[in-house]
C-alpha cells in the first residue's frame, strides 16, 4: 500500500491532521495500535482554546461542538478563601469552549468514516524506516499479517510512549523535563456542576479544580501525593475532601453522585527538540507534555498539526519546502510559551512541600498582585484563550 502521508496515532492530533490533509486533497493513512473503542475510552481534557475551536471548524468537524459545547467567557480563581474572576472575553474578546476530548475524538472518527479515508486500528509492531532518506516506509502487523506502507512523509502523532520519537537516534534529540512532586486525583460523575464556569483553587489543603464536560457531567480534581492510590479513595472520601477545598458558598451547593471514573495523573513538563528528523515530524504528546493546569495538552497538539498541515499543503500545492523546513522552529516557539504558562500556573496554584512559608507567601503575593492589575489579568487571559499560531 502507498500513501502520501502516513500518520501514526489516531488520537485527536492524528485525526485532525488527517481531516486537514483530506480537505486539501492529500492522501493519508492513519495507523493506530489500539482499538477504536479503547481510543474513545480515554478520559482527557475538556477545555478548547479559540484557536482549537477555529481549527476544528476548518477541518469540518465543529458542528456538534457548537451545538453541545459550553462557551465560557471566564473562569474563577480562589485563594485565601476568596474567589476572583478572570474575564476572558472582556480582556481579550475571545472565549474558550468546554467540550470533552472524547467528544472531539468521536466527531473526528465519524468524520473520517464519512470521508472514507483509511484508519487501521490494532496495528501492532509498528516500525518506521528510512525517514532520514527520500522514501520512508512503515511496517506493521494487522490481523496476523505483515503489512508495508510506503509514503512521502511520516507524522508521529502517537504520544509520549509511541514508536516515532523512540525511533529517533538519541544523539539527534534533546529532552527537557520537569517532574512535579504531586499528582491530580480526578473524579468524573454525572451530576450538575457546582458552578457555571471553572474554579481553580489554591487552598491550605492543596490545589482543587471544579471543571465540567456538560451541564450534567463534572470532572473534579484535587492535588494528591504521588504515593497515593485510587483504590484508597472512595467516592465519599473524595467528595468530603473536595468540599473542604471549595469556598463555603460553593460547598453548600455541591451535588454528589457515583463516579464514572477515578484516576490519579502525575504532573510533568516535557519537550523534545527538534520536532523534525528528515521526513519524520513529531506532533502532540510525541514531542511535548504539559501539566494539565491551564488545559494546554490537546490545544498544543492541535496547533502542531495545523502548522504541519500547512507545510504539507505548501509542499504538494506549491512545490515549496519552506513550511516544512520551518515547522519545528515555529511549533517549538508556541510550545515553549505554553509550557511557560502551564509551569507558572502550576507553581502558583499548588502546594510545594519544599518551598516552606516563604514560598507560600510568594504565591499569595503573586495572586494578590494578579487581581490588583488588569494588565496582569490580561496576560493570563491571553495565554488561557490561546496564543496565535
The residues annotated as belonging to the active site are: 72, 200, 292, 296, 384
Residues with Cβ within 8 Å of residue 378, at least 6 apart in sequence: 91, 92
What are the C-alpha distances in Å from 217 to residues 100, 178, 190, 191, 323? 10, 32, 4, 5, 41
> DSSP secondary-structure letter at 4?
S
Q: Which three cell numbers stand for residue 237?
A: 472520601
**Please, what is the end-to-end C-alpha distance for the chain in angstroms?**
34
| Rounded Cα–Cα distance for residues 141 and 246 (Å) | 50
- Answer for the pair 145, 120: CB distance below 8 angstroms, yes or no: no
In order, the DSSP letters of 74-122 are EEEEEETTEEEEEEHHHHHS--EEE--HHHHHHHHHHHHHHHT--EE-S
Going by C-beta distance under 8 Å and a sequence separation of 6 or more, which residues neighbour residue 215? 70, 192, 193
Q: Is 309 exposed, middle or buried (0-12, 13-18, 19+ CB in 10 A)?
A: buried
Amino acid at each position: 500500500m502507498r500513501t502520501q502521508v502516513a500518520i501514526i496515532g489516531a488520537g485527536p492530533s492524528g485525526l485532525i491532521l488527517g481531516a486537514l490533509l483530506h480537505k486539501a486533497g492529500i492522501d493519508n493513512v492513519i495507523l493506530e495500535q489500539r482499538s477504536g473503542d479503547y481510543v474513545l475510552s480515554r478520559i482527557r481534557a475538556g477545555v478548547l482554546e479559540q484557536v482549537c475551536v477555529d481549527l476544528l471548524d476548518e477541518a469540518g468537524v465543529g458542528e456538534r461542538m457548537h451545538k453541545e459545547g459550553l462557551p465560557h467567557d471566564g473562569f474563577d480563581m480562589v485563594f485565601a478563601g476568596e474567589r476572583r474572576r478572570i474575564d476572558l472575553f472582556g480582556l481579550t474578546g475571545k472565549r474558550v469552549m468546554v467540550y470533552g476530548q472524547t467528544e472531539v475524538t468521536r466527531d473526528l472518527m465519524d468524520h473520517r468514516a464519512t470521508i472514507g479515508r483509511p484508519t487501521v486500528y490494532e496495528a501492532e509492531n509498528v516500525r518506521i524506516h528510512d525517514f532520514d532518506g527520500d522514501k520512508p516506509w512503515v511496517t506493521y502487523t494487522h490481523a496476523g499479517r505483515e503489512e508495508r506502507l510506503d509514503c512521502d512523509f511520516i507524522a508521529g502523532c502517537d504520544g509520549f510512549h509511541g514508536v516515532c520519537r523512540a525511533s529517533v537516534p538519541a544523539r539527534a534529540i534533546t529532552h527537557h523535563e520537569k517532574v512535579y512532586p504531586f499528582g491530580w486525583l480526578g473524579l468524573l460523575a454525572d451530576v450538575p456542576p457546582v458552578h457555571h464556569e471553572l474554579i481553580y483553587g489554591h487552598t491550605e489543603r492543596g490545589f482543587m479544580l471544579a471543571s465540567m464536560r456538560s451541564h450534567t457531567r463534572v470532572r473534579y480534581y484535587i492535588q494528591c501525593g504521588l504515593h497515593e492510590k485510587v483504590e484508597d479513595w472512595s467516592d465519599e472520601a473524595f467528595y468530603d475532601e473536595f468540599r473542604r477545598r471549595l469556598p463555603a458558598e460553593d460547598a453548600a451547593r455541591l451535588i454528589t453522585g457515583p463516579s464514572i471514573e477515578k484516576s490519579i495523573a502525575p504532573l510533568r513538563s516535557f519537550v523534545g527538540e527538534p520536532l523534525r528528523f528528515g521526513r519524520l515530524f513529531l506532533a502532540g504528546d510525541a514531542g511535548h507534555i504539559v501539566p494539565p493546569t491551564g488545559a494546554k495538552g490537546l490545544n498544543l497538539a492541535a496547533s502542531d498539526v495545523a502548522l504541519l498541515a500547512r507545510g504539507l499543503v505548501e509542499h504538494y500545492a506549491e512545490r515549496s519546502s519552506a513550511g516544512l523546513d520551518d515547522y519545528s522552529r515555529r511549533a517549538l516557539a508556541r510550545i515553549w510559551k505554553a509550557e511557560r504558562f502551564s509551569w507558572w500556573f502550576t507553581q502558583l496554584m499548588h502546594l510545594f512541600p519544599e518551598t516552606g512559608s516563604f514560598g507560600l507567601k510568594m504565591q499569595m503575593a503573586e495572586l494578590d498582585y494578579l487581581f490588583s492589575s488588569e494588565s496582569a489579568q490580561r496576560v493570563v487571559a491571553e495565554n488561557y484563550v490561546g496564543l496565535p499560531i
